[in-house]
Structure 1
Amino acid sequence: MAKISAPAALILASFLFIFCYASTTVSSQPSNSSDPFLKCLSSSIPSQLVLTPSSPSFTPLLRFSIRNPKFFASTTVRPLYIVTPTNASHVQSAVLCGRQAGMRIRVRSGGHDYEGLSYRAERPQPFAILDLSNLRSVRVDAPSATAWVDSGAQLGELYYAIGKASVQLGFPAGLCPTVGVGGHFSGGGFGMLLRKYGLAVDNVIDAVLVDAKGRLLNRTTMGSDVFWAIRGGGGESFGVVVSWQVRLVPVPPKVTVFNVAVSASQGAVDVVTRWQQVAPALPEDLFIRVVVQQQTASFQSLFLGTCDALLPLGTCDALLPVMRCRFRELGLKMNRTQCQEMTWIQSVPYFYPGTGSDGTTVEYILNRTTSLSTYAKMTSDYVRKAIRRDAWESIFATWLARLDAGIMILDPYGAAISNVSEHETPFPHRAGVLYNIQYVNVWFDGGGGGAAQFKWIREFYAFMEPYVSSSPREAYFNYRDLDLGENVVVGNVSSYEAGKVWGEKYFRDNYRRLAAAKDEIDPDDYFRNEQSIPPLGLGNNK
């Protein structure tokens, strides 16, 4: 593909107009062509790109990107309109008309937001969704090892385009192919390459942003503080990022993967206890995560094939000696048949839950649909000091043995992710972190189900308090959890002080700098939701 130039044409695009409302499902406002939003919209965006509740496509599109069906309940606050822009000028129009009409928008890329705040609200208020699913272009420039990717693209589409361009290029982002690029990058974004190449946002080199004034800005024109803020400071706080330029990373022609399950009766407690110290200290080319469920720990690994081995790069024969030397507790349970060699792009469906080594083709990661049958509750922790063996015994014997038990996912840090200062980007969980924990519990009964699963995850979270980070107890923004706190609006602006309750858990000391960047780009707090960054304004820190 031809080399991609900076989006100068976008930066010079003229400002247009548009905006959006919202309502609850209990009390929807009727669509009305005399509505200021619709009148403004009609002069700037084709009518087929604006959906009202009376549109046949409204409910299917709303449901399409809802990844957690508990947020489609009859009591949740839904949008009045859905706007589906096809270019940056439509996004500008949405913002300008929103300001003109005194209405707000919520921006959705992939819909995986764990609290659904990109398409619903906790309390009754008028809003509309700016759905970016039509903005999904991926433009790879293999010779320069860079790409431009629109926020509405999904990770699977980004990975697929990279894999088609070169088998020796990759990108360090998340495992799930249906996650939207915009939201994922906005929170940091990590996956199986994090110990080699860090976060997704560590590899963002430019972006196109529509701010609250409807201006189209790039890295230079938005300023260094705002460019810093959008790379991990949370979605829907500083504007609408239309597209991102990323640096691609080298991967070998073949990588090695394995997924080895160890049950409690086979010594899972001992292996997990040892993993805490080994995994963050392994060579950066070897990543081993753990999924703990039903008293079984599954060790999932991506090996880029260098380490200290003298055998050909990326082979299982190179990996096994490393495992037996560096991680004996697991290495002795492995054999040659348990690992596979493949290209990096083939490893994406291998690790995605439900596909594994079942013969799934790479094209699977282009699938944009997900099941609406699984309800879920998630939260997160960071571990800076290895958890004692007796605590792991209790976790396996008590918490994971319950009928309502969920899952623990442990992702090791160290190496590249820790070599970056915690102030280099808003994502602060760097040096000193051993691993991240994601707690997940799911259920299938939408008619009043979920109480036991919520209870398990909240009680288990309380149990874990002595063993995880403290002052603050850290959390990962992309595993957003409203149990950690919500914004309080004072005088039509979110309170900076009230936001500390959740903000310092996600961002530590970077929270204040994020609020200062918010002051710079959106002092009136136009872009906001229940966990958006408040502005650091005089009279607003109460």
Structure 2
Amino acid sequence: MGSSNYNIILIFLCFSNLLRFIASSASGDDHNINYNEGGDFVECLTVQLESSNSATDDLIYTPNNSSSYASLLIAQNLRPGSTSPYDKPLIIFTPFYDYQIQSAIYCSKKLRIQIRVRSGGHDYEGLSHTSRDNPFVVVDMRNLRQISIDAEQKTAWVQVGATLGQLYHTLAQKSGTLAFTAGVCPTVGIGGHLSGGGYGMMSRRHSISADHIIDARIMNVDGQMLDRRSMGEDLFWAIRGGGGTSFGIVIAFKVNLITVPETVTVFNVTKTYEQNATQLVHRWQYIADKVDDNLLMRVFLRSVRSLTTGKRTVIASFTTLYLGGVEDLMPIMKEKFPELGLVEKDCTEMSWIQSVLYFAYIPNQPLDVLLNRTTPFTVYFKGKSDFATEPIPVDGLIGIFRFLREEDENMAEIQLSPYGGALNSFSESETPFPHRTGNIFMIDYGLSWDSPGKEEAEKHLNWMRRIYGYMAAYVSKSPRAAYFNYRDLDLGVNDYSSGNTIGSYDEAKVWGMKYFKNNFERLVRVKTKVDPSNFFRNEQSIPPFPLPPLYSS
């Protein structure tokens, strides 16, 4: 696989976060049911839809109509090493309207078959289209993708089946300066990205996506549609960074839009190990979170084969967006980071929407490319995340570079994404997303391969876990934090295999504190209030208290 193709894959996977809403039975042992290969669910759903005068054509897909079913099931990143008998859903349901989702919830309760909901195309751990323990159906939200923009009020209603690319494309049709702060991968689904956080190239100036949510429409466990006023501030707080997974099925978000300059500047300067990359990355750590808020400079570390020597080397790519012109950018770089040696010819001025294409590695393409829901590549993928609260010393960076040389060429990538700026303007408890002050940068470890087989998967997964263990000395502690949108089941899972549908609070706290820190406790209280029977659940969903305490908001 060529390095350019690999970089495209990793960029599209880096912010993955598919909408991961899961509904399951309120009580009972799912292992003992007779689900008749999904036939019972199809029959129940058909009856419910016909009673509401809904035709079932183009709504229900089963393995029997294999071509359509298989095409809908394709995921951007394949799940490595899975041995679950429930890797595929019994059916895939593609509703167009809210009331059709109500029918799916009704049948899920009646037949005690879980629902898993997907809205985009990325999912680090496959929680939207696989299950470890139970048969399930997928509610695919792709048909619920309407976007309504109020340019005068600078707001938008966005249904969760839309992708980031569709939102960016729609904004570009309205205005050259109206934008939204979110990730760089156009094929990521709106639902999971916003409800889990939503870091992007403008986060130092405009923070994360979840901080711009001002209203939402969510279907609760009773099939009722709620907005911010009717759901209450506790639930509204929970779905802005705590994921929609645990609390209901989010249908749409209303967001505040932002205004960007007519001209922005981008550059991508790459240095090899032999060109002092180690010292440059070390220096970058001292300025990345402290420079002008309009400047966000990420670093991508990879091992490649040198075009000049033919030998393996490690490269550091300083990939940057500046919300302004090159004349304003150059003095900042010369003062704050002269070691990089940036010159004006390294920079390109463009519109914000052109920068979206640039960072998605599809420059000079027509804007309609942003409407594509899938990438041309599917790979096996494993990701992890960390937060650095102090600079990694040079010898620590040398160790990272050594690990990168171990893996197959162009297969592993480590991203360093700077914090500071607007991210510091919110307290850790403002939303469930707690990663605010005190962090210099976020680390995303990404590893992909294209050969199937358990032995191949174990080789790569072992590398990922070894480097994660090595990094423990250099990242946040008590807890060692992680980003919820970069799901990682190695951190812990909820075990429902025994038929205990409530799950274990103690099990969930292990991974929950890493994603949410002290906000985990409040998320559990919200869950206990809105879904005490744990109808909406998955391997990493917020559990209710087994014996609900007296709730206080």
* Structure 1 and Structure 2 fold alike (TM over 0.5): yes
Partner of 2:382: 377
Matched, 1:401 2:405: yes
Supply the distance in 2 between the matched residues of 1:519 and 1:217 (Cα, whole angstroms). 17
Change beyond 3 A, Cα 1:297–1:381: same
Identity %: 43
Match of 2:323 in 1: 304
Establish whether residue 337 from structure 1 lines up as the match of residue 332 from structure 2.
no
Shift of 1:535: 0.9
Alignment root-mean-square deviation, CA: 2.3
CA distance in 1, matches of 2:373, 2:271: 33
Give 2:365's match in structure 1, choosing from 342, 360, 383: 360
Residue 451 of structure 1, aligned match among 458, 462, 471: 458
Instruction: Check whether the contact 2:95–2:140 (CA below 8 A) recurs between aligned residues.
Output: yes
The secondary structure found in structure 2 opposite 1:111 is coil
More RCO (CA 8 Å, sep 6+) = 2
**Structure 1 unaligned blocks of 5 or more:** 1-17, 306-313
Q: Is the 8 A contact 1:31 1:53 kept in 2?
A: no
Deviations along 1:464-493, one digit per CA (max 9) or x if unpaired, are 001000111000010001011001347321
CA offset at residue 102 of structure 1? 2.6
**What CA deviation, in whole Å up to 9, does each residue of 1:436-467 have, x standing for no partner?**
00001111112443322211111000000010
Given candidates 225, 237, 247, the residue that maps to 2:234 is 225
Match of 1:350 in 2: 358
Match of 1:498 in 2: 507
Match of 2:203 among 189, 194, 199: 194
What is the CA deviation profile of residues 114-134 of structure 1, one whole-angstrom value per residue up to 9, with x for unaligned ones?
Answer: 1010111122x1211110000
Structure 1 residue 432 displacement after superposition: 0.4
CA change 1:84–1:374 in 2 (3 A) is same
Residue 77 of structure 1 aligns to a residue whose secondary structure is coil
| 1:81 shift after superposition | 1.3
- For residues 451 and 34 of structure 1, the distance between their equivalents in structure 2, rounded to whole angstroms, comes to 37
The SS at the match of 1:428 is coil
Q: How is 1:156-171 mapped onto 2 (pairs within 5 angstroms)? A: 156-171=165-180
Kindly indicate whether residue 439 of structure 2 is the aligned counterpart of residue 433 of structure 1.
yes
Counterpart-to-counterpart distance in 1, 2:118 and 2:42: 26
Partner SS, residue 459 of structure 2:
helix
Consecutive unaligned residues in structure 2, runs of 5 or more? 1-23, 304-313
Q: Distance in 1 between matches of 2:298 and 2:36?
A: 45
1:64, 1:369 within 8 Å by CA — same for their partners in 2?
A: no
2:37 maps to what in 1? 29
* Structure 1 residue 43: Cα displacement: 2.9
* Distance in 2 between residues matched to 1:214 and 1:33, nearest whole Å: 17
Q: Does 1:104 align with 2:114?
A: yes
SS where residue 281 of structure 1 aligns?
Answer: coil
Please give the secondary structure, in 2, of the residue aligned with 1:121: coil
**Alignment-derived partner of residue 522 in structure 2:** 513
Distance in 2 between residues matched to 1:37 and 1:180, nearest whole Å: 25
For 2:92, the aligned partner's letter is I
**Equivalent pair of 2:80/2:457 in contact (CA under 8 Å):** no
Q: Name the CA distance, whole Å, in 2 between partners of 1:377 and 1:383.
A: 20
Change (3 A) 1:57 1:211: farther
Q: Per the alignment, in what secondary structure is the counterpart of residue 31 of structure 1?
A: helix
- Secondary structure of the corresponding residue to residue 77 of structure 2: coil
In structure 1, C-alpha distance between the alignment counterparts of 2:85 and 2:109, rounded to whole Å: 28
Q: Partners of 1:136 and 1:157 in 2: how far apart?
A: 9
> How far does residue 362 in structure 1 lie from its aligned partner after superposition?
2.6
- The 8 Å contact of residues 234 and 533 in structure 1, kept in 2 or not, is answered as no
For the residues of structure 2 that align with 1:102 and 1:515, how far apart are their CA atoms? 23
Matched, 1:256 2:265: yes
What are the superposed Cα offsets for residues 128-181 of structure 1, whole Å, 9 maximum, x if unpaired? 111000001111111111111000000000011111111111111111000000
Structure 1 residue aligned with 2:101: 91
Count residues with an aligned counterpart: 503
In structure 2, C-alpha distance between the alignment counterparts of 1:417 and 1:94, rounded to whole Å: 38
**TM-score, with structure 2 as normaliser:** 0.87
- CA distance in structure 1 between the partners assigned to 2:221 and 2:68 by the alignment: 26
Task: Identify the range of structure 1 (319-328 vs 206-215) with the bigger mean alpha-carbon deviation.
Answer: 319-328
For residue 289 of structure 1, report the CA deviation from its aligned partner.
Answer: 0.5
Cα distance in structure 2, aligned partners of 1:241 and 1:57? 29
Q: Report deviation, 1:320.
A: 1.5
Once the two structures are superposed, what CA deviation does each residue of 1:5-46 show, in whole Å capped at 9, x if it has no partner? xxxxxxxxxxxxx99xx99xxx98252588545544543443
Sort the Cα spacing of 1:462 and 1:69 in 2 relative to 1 into closer, same or farther, 3 A: closer
Stretch deviating more after TM superposition (32-41 or 409-418): 32-41
Equivalent position SS for 2:525: helix
1:303-340 per-position Cα deviation (integer Å, ceiling 9, x unaligned) = 012xxxxxxxx2x222112101111121x2x2222111
Any idea what SS the aligned residue of 1:202 has?
Answer: helix
CA distance in 1, matches of 2:343, 2:76: 41
Aligned equivalents of 1:74, 1:223: Cα separation in 2:
38
Give yes or no for contact 2:322–2:329 (8 Å, CA) kept in 1: yes
Q: Counterpart of 1:443 in structure 2: which amino acid?
A: W
